Amino acid sequence: MASSGCPTDALTIHDPDEQLRWYDLGYCRYGFCATCGSRMFWQGADHMEHTSIQAGVIEDASHLELAGIWFADDAQPHVTLDERVARHSGNGDETP
C-alpha cells in the first residue's frame, strides 16, 4: 500500500454522505468507505494523534515522496526495491 500521514488534529475529512466507517481491532483502527469497502485511513492504538492516509484518497498525491518500504523482506522476487529508501522487515525494524 502507498500511504502518507499527518497529525490527526490537522486532518479534515470531507464526508457529506457520512460513508466513513471505523473498524477497531484493538491495536489499530481502520477507516473504510461504507459504499465500496476501500480502506482509506488507519491509526495505531498507541499513536492516535497520527493518522495514516492511503495515497489514493488524496486528490493530488504528486507531491508525496517515498520515505520507506515496510515488509521489504516479503516483496515478490520480481519487485525491485529502491535502494535509496529505508527498508523495514516489518512494522518498524530496519533491514540492513
Tell me what pLDDT residue 67 has: 83
**Which of the two residues, 96 and 46, has the higher pLDDT score?**
46
CB 79 within 8 A of CB 73: no
Considering the entire predicted model, what is its pTM?
0.72
CB 28 within 8 A of CB 44: yes
Domain 3-64, CATH among 2.60.40.10, 3.65.10.10, 3.90.1150.10, 2.170.150.70: 2.170.150.70
For 26, counting Cβ atoms within 10 Å of its Cβ (0-12 exposed, 13-18 middle, 19+ buried), the class is exposed
Q: Mean pLDDT over residues 16-35, rounded?
A: 94
Q: How far apart are CA 56 and CA 47, in angstroms?
A: 22
Q: How far apart are CA 41 and CA 95, in angstroms?
A: 26
